Amino acid sequence: MTIENPQLISELREILATADSKQLQEFCVSAHPASVAELISTLSSQEAWEVLRHAPYPLRSEILSHLNEDLQIEIVGSLPRHEVAHLLADMSSDDRVSLFKKLSEHLQESILPALAQAEREDIRRLSAYREGTAGAVMTSDYATLSPQLTASQAIELLRKVAPDKETIYYTYVVDKDRKLLGLVSLRELIVAHRDARVNDIMNPEVIFARVDDDQEDVARKMQKYDLIALPVLNDDDVIVGIVTFDDVADIIVDEATEDFHGMAAISHKTHPVIGDINMRDASILLLVRTRLPWLLVLVFVNIFSSAGLAYFEDTIKAVVALVFFLPLLINSSGNAGSQAATLMVRALATGKARLSDWFFLLGKEVLVAGILGVILGAAVSFIGIFRAGPEVTLVISTTMVLTVLFGSLVGMSLPFLLSKLQLDPATASAPLITSIADIGGILIYLNIATYILKDMIQVNGGL
């Protein structure tokens, strides 16, 4: 995180050096927990705990849950288990389980017995859901109402449970089996007549998610309908949790980061995931492991480029000037392809393109890439005329039109193809498309050259 006021870090270090308990406590309560956590994040885990342990409960847990996960794990790993149990007990249900899941198995087993039964069961229940699903991001701290209550009874109830709930602005009306009947907002409860029944105020058409739904779909749904919270139901229509608005932005940012890295051929298969880590703290090994796999794969893909060039050795030997324009032509093709791929990957991710539009969009891409190719072809013939003969100029301008078209069609199609194969369209990385565009570009270029320049090749080849 970027610290807005770096001077605060030195102030914190000064207080830490004096080891004055009163000042450390004051520091912890002086600002928003997120701001305190941000400053503590600049310290080692020992120092961080030295500050944090001066915060009163439950603030201590709240600051802890704003720290990055690595630091949380380090701190928790060094504490006695009764302290860990206390910290976990005070955390919100979703933060608690996501920290718990990251702890070593040994630590998990030693802490579980120290927790109260309700929390233990909550952790067991929530940690069963697969990462990346609604179940894995939801919290159990939601409020429910029964339909027979009056508005004023409902408000009185919410008043009492408020401290333990993540939100009381949306409450869920359930029957005795906790099946979801409707949604009522605190706004509606306040506006309603005090004796009106919840049953009559509630909206029975609730937008919800299933436990197995992809977190990205959950975020998109909440964004579309402007929801503060979304209930998560199991297959029996029983409410088992809610996802709150503050998770939406986090999910969107994480998914965008994953797509960004995918487009640049950066692997997300490593653990920990590179996008979650501050660049200063990312280890050399992790950085190598995220970058090497695709670079290596692409080296071997590029052997086909080499083979293509070797096949046309005679043409190249005869007209060496062809080589001068090689990077220009294959780059233009790769660039147009990256553009087309990025437009499609992002449009598919934001819902601005549908899989079923593929053929329609392919037709459009032929037109767009055709126009781009002709303009770029004109530009290179302008360059060519000054630096090469008319024949070579004809070769490079014709090649430009065709390679830009080829690269663009590959670039726009690959994300659709990957989606159809149930793969992440963002795997259609710019480097992969560039490599494919290169191979195609080289074959187009040297075939055209061999055809148009056949007289020159024979003359030179005869030397």
29-88 binders of its own copies (CB under 8 A): 31-32, 34, 38
**Residue 228 near its own copies by CB under 8 A:** yes
**Residue 362 near its own copies by CB under 8 A:** no
Least distance CB 244 / its own copies (angstroms): 8
- Greatest Cα pair distance in the chain: 104
Touching its own copies, residues 167-186 (CB under 8 A): 168-169, 186
Nearest to 377 by CA among 398, 408, 405: 398
201 contacts 183 by C-beta, under 8 angstroms:
no
* One residue of 338, 381, 397, 419 binding its own copies per CB under 8 A: 338
* One residue of 354, 362, 420, 461 binding its own copies per CB under 8 A: 354
Least distance CB 171 / its own copies (angstroms): 12
Least distance CB 106 / its own copies (angstroms): 30
**Residue 208 near its own copies by CB under 8 A:** no
Q: Phi and psi (nearest 5°) for 405?
A: -65, -45
Q: Please work out the total of residues on this chain that contact its own copies, with binding judged by CB under 8 A.
A: 119
Touching its own copies, residues 7-26 (CB under 8 A): none
> Long-range contact list for 58-63, CB < 8 A, 24+ apart?
58/90, 59/28, 59/29, 59/33, 60/28, 60/87, 60/90, 61/87, 61/88, 61/89, 61/90, 61/91, 62/33, 62/90, 62/91, 63/28, 63/33, 63/36, 63/37
285: left (phi over 0), alpha (psi -120 to 50) or beta: alpha
Touching its own copies, residues 399-428 (CB under 8 A): 404
> Considering beta carbons, is residue 48 or 432 the nearer one to its own copies?
432
* One residue of 138, 380, 409, 410 binding its own copies per CB under 8 A: 380
> Considering beta carbons, is residue 62 or 122 the nearer one to its own copies?
62
368 contacts 408 by C-beta, under 8 angstroms:
yes
Least distance CB 220 / its own copies (angstroms): 9
Q: How far apart are alpha carbons 359 and 341 in whole angstroms?
A: 15
Stretch that binds its own copies, among 102-110, 234-242, 341-349, 417-425 (CB under 8 A): 341-349
> Considering beta carbons, is residue 85 or 372 the nearer one to its own copies?
372
Q: Which two tokens stand for residue 208?
A: 């919800």
Touching its own copies, residues 294-333 (CB under 8 A): 294-296, 298-300, 302-303, 305-307, 309-310, 313, 316-317, 320-321, 323-328, 330-332
**Residue 344 near its own copies by CB under 8 A:** yes
Q: Which residue, chain included where needed, has tokens 């100029």?
A: 393
Give the bridge partners for 241, in sequence order: 232
Stretch that binds its own copies, among 105-113, 175-183, 232-240, 434-442 (CB under 8 A): 434-442
Dihedral of the alpha carbons of 379, 384, 386, 388, in degrees to the nearest 10: 180
* One residue of 82, 187, 420, 454 binding its own copies per CB under 8 A: 187
Q: How far apart are alpha carbons 331 and 404 in whole angstroms?
A: 9
**Residue 375 near its own copies by CB under 8 A:** yes
Touching its own copies, residues 240-279 (CB under 8 A): 245-246, 248-250, 252-253, 256-257, 259-261, 263-266, 274-275, 277-279
* One residue of 353, 436, 443, 457 binding its own copies per CB under 8 A: 353
> Considering beta carbons, is residue 17 or 284 the nearer one to its own copies?
284
> Considering beta carbons, is residue 150 or 305 the nearer one to its own copies?
305
Give the bridge partners for 32, in sequence order: none
Q: How far apart are alpha carbons 40 and 31 in whole angstroms?
A: 12
209 contacts 244 by C-beta, under 8 angstroms:
no
**Residue 368 near its own copies by CB under 8 A:** yes
Burial of 109 (0-12, 13-18, 19+ CB in 10 A): exposed
Least distance CB 388 / its own copies (angstroms): 10
**Residue 438 near its own copies by CB under 8 A:** yes
425 contacts 261 by C-beta, under 8 angstroms:
no
> Considering beta carbons, is residue 47 or 304 the nearer one to its own copies?
304
Using CA atoms, how far residue 287 sits from 185, 255, 259, 292, 427, in Å, is: 46, 19, 17, 8, 18
Stretch that binds its own copies, among 11-19, 81-89, 119-127, 283-291 (CB under 8 A): 283-291
Number of residues that make up the chain: 463
Least distance CB 177 / its own copies (angstroms): 26
Touching its own copies, residues 131-150 (CB under 8 A): none
Q: How far apart are alpha carbons 334 and 343 in whole angstroms?
A: 14
**Residue 128 near its own copies by CB under 8 A:** no
DSSP 312: T
Q: How far apart are alpha carbons 241 and 73 in whole angstroms?
A: 25
* One residue of 82, 124, 130, 387 binding its own copies per CB under 8 A: 387
* One residue of 103, 115, 149, 345 binding its own copies per CB under 8 A: 345
Computed over its alpha carbons, how large is the radius of gyration of the chain? 30
